[in-house]
Amino acid sequence: MQQVMPAQKKVQFSQAIEFIDTFGDDEYDRTCLETTPCTYKDMFELYQLRLELRKETERMLSERDAQDAITEADYASSTSSPATSTSSSYEGFN
């Protein structure tokens, strides 16, 4: 049985180097802030907020869908079929 060698992988780096200015250590404080762990009450409030936002999003989406349906129905009723619109628009050319 012949052993198959995997394909050679190659890495190539770009020749273009871009320098970006940032603030120095004396101008920008990069130290981490101390945080307090979340409590059960905090997590419960976050969960409630998440549920409220989901309900609000679903309500807004259903309102948008209803408005889109009304707009499409209005558009469909205001336009006539292509056969009648083309025949009436070309009457002067016959």
Q: Where are the domains of the chain?
A: 49-76
Is pLDDT above 60 for 60?
A: yes
pLDDT at 57: 97
At 74, which amino acid appears? D
- Asked if the model's pLDDT at residue 1 lies above 80, the reply is no
Contacts 24+ apart (CB under 8 A), 63-70: none
User: What does the mean pLDDT of the chain come to?
Assistant: 83
Contacts 24+ apart (CB under 8 A), 63-71: none
| CA geometry: angle 35, 39, 44, nearest 5 deg | 125
